[in-house]
Structure 1
Amino acid sequence: MSLFSVRMRSSREEQGTPVHISGAERIVAETDLERVAATFVQRAMQHKNGTPDFVNLSIERVCPEEIMSLEALPIQTCDVEDVEEGHRAAHHLLCEAGVSSESANFAIALLKAGPAPGGRVMRGAVLLDAEQPIRMEPDPHRGVRVSKLDWEPSVLESWCNGIGHLGIARPRVWEAIAIASKVTAQPEVIAELCWSDDQSYITGYVASQQFGYVRVTHLKPLGSLIGGRVFFIRAGTDIQSLISRLEKQPALVDRLPTRPYIEL
């Protein structure tokens, strides 16, 4: 069976600078290409963050032998009352995963202000040294975009059925878990911090192989258009090798988590 990576990103130009609006990733069979491509275009044109003036849709054949097998991270929820408590919770989780307090604080402040130059949103993620607050990504405008990933359909169906009673079996969540599962499976990555640039979505997460994918219910104010991702990496990492795997190696979540859902 032929498989294809389908990727979408959309943006608009503001004062001569491209501003990221949305993106999406799937790995699909050839028979699903037309449907998925149409869905991605509709998603780009109807996003809550505004109408784009640029939409890029790319379709690339994937070699099945090159696909990385991933186990889904176990999912947990950390309920907090407000953004301040959410940031304290995220800081605690990052430090528990092995990130220094200084790097955790720097990352939270960076996402609050906007990680791209001028306080804008990046297309991809920040690479941050886990020991000291030094950015490592080559291009701070673009960042590092995790690509070529998806769920194996029967595994996704089982995952949705298993947590359906929690009310969080939604595309936004399973897409984020696929990204976090690929990112934290890289031996150079200690943890990930993320919250969305979608103005209506205030829940973010901290992810690591140590404790899985932890949803933090308030990580930004409602109405904020600022968000992003930070990957905390080990000292001495070969940056180009890591970026190549994150952006180019196809990966499928084809195993359910071995640990159950836990309320923190």
Structure 2
Amino acid sequence: MIEENLFSVRMRASKNGAHENGGKHISGGEQISTYSHLKHTVNVLLDKALTHSKGNPDFMQIQLELIDEPITKCEPLHIETIEVESVEEGQLIARNLLEKSGVPRACIEKAYQQMKECSGLRGAILFDIHTGERIDDRSDKGVRVSRMDWFTTNYEKWANYYKMPVSQRVKEALVLATKVNRHPATVAELCWSDDPEYITGYVASKKAGYQRITRLKTYGDEQGCRIFFVNGLSDLDSYIHYLEKEPLIIQWEEGNDERVN
């Protein structure tokens, strides 16, 4: 029956035209939905685009497609929050977490030097940990991780168990970080939002889990960052295909949460 099928629903919104025509990125998002919940899912993404702090979009695209391949289910990364008093302290901690996760210091510094050139991308940039060079060929688009979700009931069960506030923003970020770092080629991820009103960012890796850092930029700054540090890529196309195309759903069960010592 069609109600049993799952659909990938994706939204992107921009101002001053479409992204590919030079429009300013306003918002993006996606969910996996059953057919019977498609209207609700579309409305959630529509509301996200129309209420973003970066402004009102004049271009929006909402796309859905049937998922006709097996869906991977996995546990979320273990999450911790690091409270800091300044952006400088937060960025120092981020650098240290990346290094402890296996990213060489020289590569980290090269990535920071190139951040301003890559701040307007919709997706992530991929850095080779050995050369410190960007290795994707997506220019100003970047690589956008897709086809992933965490169904609300299971997410709220997880949040209640760990006494965390229910946050759509945290859920979406944790889902993305879990998918990215599940791949053996991913060493670590560094991210903070382009939302001028949201200054918390994170470092995620297999070793560190998902480490939220409460200040990684100043309030009012619209410059975001999403970098995947990768290693041992014999087939870059296969890696990007995993990030963009292979479906994944987070499924948490009490007692199975993976902890980082």
Fold shared per TM-score above 0.5: yes
Q: Give TM-score scaled by structure 1 length.
A: 0.90
Q: Secondary structure at the match of 1:161?
A: helix
1:40 aligned partner: 45
2:148 aligned partner: 149
Letter in 2 for 1:104: I
| Cα deviation digits, residues 87-128 of structure 1 (max 9, x gap) | 1100000000000112222333444x251xxxx511100101
1:97 aligned partner: 101
Q: Secondary structure at the match of 1:6?
A: strand
Q: Distance in 2 between matches of 1:103 and 1:194?
A: 16
Q: Please say if 1:78 is aligned against 2:82.
A: yes
Q: Distance in 1 between matches of 2:248 and 2:13?
A: 23
Q: Distance in 2 between matches of 1:149 and 1:100?
A: 29
Q: Distance in 1 between matches of 2:45 and 2:216?
A: 27
Q: Distance in 2 between matches of 1:70 and 1:104?
A: 29
Identical positions, percent: 39
Q: Please say if 1:210 is aligned against 2:207.
A: yes
| Cα deviation digits, residues 206-252 of structure 1 (max 9, x gap) | 00011200001110010000102100000444111111110011110
**4+ residue stretches of structure 1 with deviation over 3 A?**
108-111, 259-262
- The farther-off stretch of 139-148 and 17-26 is 17-26
Q: Distance in 2 between matches of 1:4 and 1:236?
A: 30
Q: Distance in 1 between matches of 2:100 and 2:80?
A: 15
| Cα deviation digits, residues 15-54 of structure 1 (max 9, x gap) | x622211111110111110111022112112211011121
Letter in 2 for 1:135: R
Letter in 2 for 1:43: K
- The farther-off stretch of 66-75 and 175-184 is 66-75
1:54 aligned partner: 59
Q: Give TM-score scaled by structure 2 length.
A: 0.91
Question: Does the CA-based 8 Å contact 2:10-2:30 persist in structure 1?
Answer: yes
Gaps of 5+ in 2: none
| Cα deviation digits, residues 176-213 of structure 1 (max 9, x gap) | 00000000001110110000000010000000011200
Q: Please say if 1:8 is aligned against 2:8.
A: no
- Please report how far the alpha carbon of residue 261 of structure 1 lies from its aligned counterpart in structure 2 after TM superposition: 9.0
Which of residues 73, 80, 99 in structure 2 aligns to 1:69? 73
1:258 aligned partner: 257
Q: Secondary structure at the match of 2:162?
A: helix
- Please report how far the alpha carbon of residue 260 of structure 1 lies from its aligned counterpart in structure 2 after TM superposition: 5.2
- Residues 1:237 and 1:49: Cα distance change in structure 2 (over 3 Å): farther
Gaps of 5+ in 1: none
Q: Please say if 1:108 is aligned against 2:112.
A: yes
Which of residues 16, 23, 28 in structure 2 aligns to 1:23? 28
- Residues 1:74 and 1:103: Cα distance change in structure 2 (over 3 Å): same
Letter in 2 for 1:212: G
- Please report how far the alpha carbon of residue 139 of structure 1 lies from its aligned counterpart in structure 2 after TM superposition: 1.3
